[in-house]
Chains A and B, each alone.
Chain A
Amino acid sequence: MQQVHEEIIQTVSRARLQLSELDLADQATVAAIGRALEETIQELPPRLTGLIDLLTLVLDALQAIYQGDSPDAPRLARAAAEGLAAAELYLLSEGGPEPEVALEAAGQALGCALGHPTAFSPAGPLSLDDAAALLLQCGPADTIELGRVRDGLQALVAGEPLPSVAAALAVQAAQTLGSIVLGRAANPARALAEVGHLIQSAMDAMERSVPDSTPPAPAPAEAAPASDGLPADADPALLAEFILESREYIEAAEAALLSLETNPEDDEAVNTVFRVFHTVKGTSAFLGLRRISELAHGAESLLSRVRDHEIRFTGSYADLALRSTDMLRELIQAVQNALGGEPMHLPAGYAELLRLLEDPETLAANTTRDDLPLPRLGDLLVAQGVVTRADVEAAATDQGNQPLGLALVKSGAASIADVAKALRTQQRLASGDAPAAESWVRVRTDRLDKLIDMVGELVIAHSMVAQDETVVDTIHHELSRKVIHAGKIVRELQDLSLSMRMVPLKATFQKMARLVRDVAHKSGKQVDLIVEGEDTEIDRHMVDVINDPLIHMIRNAVDHGIEPPDVRVQHGKPPAGVVRLAAYHSGGNVVVEIEDDGRGLDREKIASKALARGLIESDKGLSDNDVFNLIFEPGFSTADQVTDVSGRGVGMDVVKRNVQALRGRIDIASTPGKGTRFSLRLPLTLAITDGMLVKVGDERYIIPLASIALSFRPEPRSLSTVAGRGELVMLRGDLLPVLRLHRLFHVPGAVENPTQGLLVVVGEGELRCALLVDELLGQQQVVAKSLGGIGKIQGVAGGAILGDGRVGLILDPAEVVALARQTDVDTPSVPVIPSVA
């Protein structure tokens, strides 16, 4: 008996293998498989009715393939192979509920493929109402009933002319049901709920379509350009929400589409895009935005074909999908304009795009269809820690023509349960229903800011408790232990709350990917973008501000940096250029690098341009870096021709200004012929300022550390006055005006004699001067805040809560100096100096 069993398994396994590699025209093989199976069925013990039924179905399928009368032979062959796989699993596991279900499911799939869905479930077409009613009685585990509902829906769609939206929804419901039945749904209960919604929407769609009795016309809707505008009963609030949501969705879709460009087999990305189109379609249909829902429907159909591996997401299909997202964006903009009272215009090219979506093959030359590589079973098992890599290698070498899973089981490396689990994982990955690991809550930013404020306050309040003398000098050690424990929690809370401000650069970088693609297309270049460190986090305020500089620099890299393909080949480079966008943390800063492997900066050209513009008198004695930095001068461009992407000479100076406004720095490194690298060095957050706490009389001020050059106590003989009032100090041969902070801010009780206090040198160039303070109290990181309703005070950049809970004012040295120049007569401006010197 045991031997017979073994033999049956081998026959089934061989048949499966043959079937999966089958040339459908090869009738001899089909017949051979059929004969082998027929014999097997005879040998099977009659109690295995499920297995026998399934194998009979497989036989039917083979018959159909053999006779060539099946409309979709490849699908049939796949279904048959799946059926055999299920049978194999069933035989190997010798019973158990799971293989039983798999058997059932495979049978149903096969039945469908054979075109008689009633083979396994004796249900005819169901009406949507019936389907909904049946569904209510089913749980996620009632796979057989659910299978019946699915088949009923499929029969309904096939049999009755439904409005197109309802039909699409019903098909989707059937698909989702299918995934539940086959055990592929990550969360059957949720999937079931989704099915419920889909059927409900389908019913709604039916009802809506009743009055105007729209035919289920997927035909080009060219003759309906009229009646554009918002539906009369549109709710502006709902529309606004729709606009906001849809934009986010579209962004997500774009990101996924771009990742598909590099990896067309990424099923998760396909699903993301599909879901976006699907959601937009549903919502827009609900809101009566017909144009949007039509387009989304077209795009969804395209994606669903990609999802079903009917077409590969490459070339023209990819373009089509991207164009669809663009068009959706424009349509949504049009809706927003319409909300503002403008007339709603259909964006140009809408009809054409819709037609292309209906029939993408007119555009597409590539309709290659090959089965997608899945993560290999061995890899999954190794990842699950069931077997070692060596086991897999060994099993793979002597597996012969049996599947790896089988070989592993036979060699005793893995149990059948492990293999079955891995197989299911593999299937789940294949269907793209990998469980979502992260979930999100959207929080208003002002609440978040408030939370961060409160936590900061908590830290200060706690440190007050911890430093209270009753705690410090206590004999109750238990108390101080508890205070220390609370302190740890508070600090952790602070770290957490600060991290909530931080967002990864991913979204920004993804936008750049799109930009590179577009600019490269426009300028006829081939450019690969390599993105590194997109998970690097940065303050969310910073993200917005660095966006524009990045766009400028990426454009420059692609448009100016990378050479056209023919030039590159002449120089012995690969025709496709590489732009690398990288981000990483370095010493409390975030560094963003944009590097291209293009022609590099041309020192000669920059120097001659600068000479012509009178920026320099000669480039002799200038380092390469000095020359390169000239490109940051306003209106400077070395591009020979102005293109519509760059070369107008506005850009790099804006970049530099923006970066400096963020207290950041920008460096250039360039090698002629090899490429250019721009490094942006930015502080992690704008909210936290490194400051020097200084004392002036009874007041304490914070001077940003970045603007302090040095501080020193002057010698009496280094001080001099102008006209008895303006004071100057000599520092290493330079004369600096002395500015008395206490006089400017009217602070009583401050140190009057500079030799008793300290001079802090701030500012650059003409604004350089020395501020007189009493003493330095130490360096401190502070969180800059506004002074509330008081408005802007010249010389004060904002306030910060100091360690003792009081408010300290953050000075703006540049403004302080400017203020002194404007108001005080006792501070001479620099041009006066020569008369003294």
Chain B
Amino acid sequence: MAINPTEPVVKPASHAPGLAGGKFLTFFLADEEYGLEILKVHEIIGMLPVTRVPRTPAFIRGVINLRGKIIPVVDLRQRFGMPAAEQTNETCIIVVQARGAQMGIVVDRVSEVLDVAAQDIEPAPQFGGDVRTDYILGIGKAQGRVELLLDIDKVLSHQEVAAAQSAANASNVQNAAE
């Protein structure tokens, strides 16, 4: 592949801070392609029956039985506020290690493992308004495509879960005070 003259010269300042290049597992949600650091990925499994867990945030689909271990499953479409999609036979669960625990994330389709060099990663843009970008590590550009590289720890952060939960249980505090 010839060097694309329009591609910017290496500009260290434009790199996402602290993010070295490496291998990323890419997957699709609707038409958007996302990437996960490969080291965070445990395995990819087909869809399993999910048991709903009451009183959890909507983006938590529920729990599945991963060979005898119970792990929570997060619906990434829900998490990112995208419309729900029909389950196809390409829908699958990526099991990741996030914040010391295993979790599954439901994605539409797994694509490939991609090498992204450090200079091909740009910091996440700021859109303002209600578009949140704090769980995007950066934007990778490789082979002419654009991948949103996710910071999975932030996507599935315990604070998020805890916040959602404490909202659900807000009245507990009042009752305890009585």
Q: Which residues of A contact B (CB under 8 A)?
A: 453-454, 456-457, 699, 744-747, 785-791, 793-796, 799, 801, 805-809, 821-823
A–B complex contacts, Cβ < 8 Å, 28 sampled: A454-B67, A457-B65, A746-B54, A747-B52, A786-B70, A787-B63, A788-B103, A789-B72, A789-B99, A789-B100, A789-B103, A789-B158, A790-B53, A790-B56, A790-B60, A791-B162, A791-B165, A799-B70, A801-B68, A805-B49, A806-B65, A807-B63, A807-B64, A808-B51, A809-B51, A821-B175, A822-B169, A823-B171
Asked if A789 and B175 sit within 8 Å, CB to CB, the answer is no
Asked if A457 and B68 sit within 8 Å, CB to CB, the answer is yes
Q: Which residues of B sit under 8 angstroms from A747, Cβ to Cβ?
A: 52, 54
Report how many residues on chain B are interfacial, defined by Cβ distance under 8 Å: 33
How far apart are A701's CB and chain B's nearest CB, in angstroms? 9
Asked if B55 and A794 sit within 8 Å, CB to CB, the answer is yes
Q: Say whether B118 faces chain A, with CB atoms less than 8 Å apart.
A: no
How far apart are A802's CB and chain B's nearest CB, in angstroms? 9
How far apart are A174's CB and chain B's nearest CB, in angstroms? 56
A370 to B6, CA, bound (A): 102
Asked if A801 and B65 sit within 8 Å, CB to CB, the answer is yes
Q: Which residues of B sit under 8 angstroms from A821, Cβ to Cβ?
A: 175
Q: Which residues of B sit under 8 angstroms from A799, Cβ to Cβ?
A: 51, 63, 70
Q: Which residues of B contact A (CB under 8 A)?
A: 49, 51-56, 60, 62-65, 67-72, 98-103, 156, 158, 161-162, 165, 169, 171-172, 175
Asked if B71 and A788 sit within 8 Å, CB to CB, the answer is yes
Name the residue of chain B whose CB is nearest to the CB of A451.
Answer: B68
A806 to B64, CA, bound (A): 7
Asked if B65 and A788 sit within 8 Å, CB to CB, the answer is no
| Given A787-B72, A789-B156, A799-B70, 20 further pairs, Cβ under 8 A | A453-B69, A457-B65, A744-B54, A745-B54, A786-B70, A787-B70, A788-B63, A788-B102, A789-B72, A793-B53, A801-B65, A801-B68, A805-B65, A807-B51, A807-B70, A821-B175, A822-B171, A822-B172, A822-B175, A823-B171
A198 to B33, CA, bound (A): 68
Question: Using a Cβ cutoff of 8 Å, how many contacts connect chains A and B?
Answer: 93
Q: Which residues of A sit under 8 angstroms from B102, Cβ to Cβ?
A: 788-789
Asked if A785 and B70 sit within 8 Å, CB to CB, the answer is yes
Among the listed A454, A744, A786, A806, which residue makes an inter-chain contact with B68, where contact means beta carbons less than 8 Å apart? Answer: A454
Asked if A789 and B68 sit within 8 Å, CB to CB, the answer is no
A787 to B165, CA, bound (A): 15
How far apart are A804's CB and chain B's nearest CB, in angstroms? 8
Top 3 nearest A-B pairs (CB, nearest first) are: A789-B101, A745-B54, A453-B68
Asked if B54 and A785 sit within 8 Å, CB to CB, the answer is no
Q: Which residues of A sit under 8 angstroms from B68, Cβ to Cβ?
A: 453-454, 456-457, 801
Q: Which residues of A sit under 8 angstroms from B69, Cβ to Cβ?
A: 453, 785, 788
Q: Which residues of B sit under 8 angstroms from A809, Cβ to Cβ?
A: 51, 53-54, 63
Asked if A789 and B165 sit within 8 Å, CB to CB, the answer is no
How far apart are B63's CB and chain A's nearest CB, in angstroms? 5
A786 to B102, CA, bound (A): 12
A491 to B53, CA, bound (A): 31
Q: Which residues of A sit under 8 angstroms from B101, Cβ to Cβ?
A: 788-789
Q: Which residues of B sit under 8 angstroms from A699, Cβ to Cβ?
A: 51-52
Q: Which residues of B sit under 8 angstroms from A794, Cβ to Cβ?
A: 55, 169, 172
Q: Which residues of A sit under 8 angstroms from B56, Cβ to Cβ?
A: 790, 793
Are A790 and B52 CB-contacts (below 8 A) given A453-B69, A456-B68? Answer: no
